Amino acid sequence: MWKPYSIERTEHIITKLTPKIETVAQKYGMPAAAIQAVLRKEMPQINWIDFAADLAVACGGILKQDSSTGYMQIFGWVGLNAVNFAVDEGLATYESLGLCVDHRLDPQNRADVRRIWKKMQTDRTANLEIAALNLISCAKEMTGRIDFAHYTEEEWKLLFTRYNQNTRKVTPYGEETYAHYVRYLKGGTPNE
């Protein structure tokens, strides 16, 4: 199956995005390695089906209402929930995220979901930032706290698992993403 992002291309893109990743990570008090690890896991898995799904959503949402989008492969409704979480926790405001809205975003409202999807699909920094907020919400859900400096290995694996799947058991996704995280923390490249 055609996949546009080889490991080498993924590494290049992550290196190019590092200043943006570090800005987002610093803003929310999380290690840049966490964002880099998710990018490393998600990007090489993107294939033509993902592009087709994005195209179907982009064409007005008649055929498909939502899809995982951008380098971080996050659905609009997941991003919307992460944004609302950040607003509720005082981590961000709609305005600080570049969202001009006059109401609380509603995951049941197609226009609200589409607004977030479109922002994440067209703005790489927004895709990184909203995905980082999703990681924070996953951390809070899985550990009961937001404390990136003190998570155990198992807690990191759980929060990476939760980013990808609604489960309370560590999955291969969580294991592999954690391995990428450790390599990034040590300054290594993703394919070492």
State both tokens at 164. Answer: 């990808």
The pLDDT tens digits for 173-184 are 999 999 999 999
Average pLDDT, the chain: 94
* Predicted confidence (pLDDT) at residue 190 exceeds the cutoff of 50: no
Provide mean pLDDT across the span 52-65: 87
* Confidence class for position 2, pLDDT limits 50, 70, 90: confident
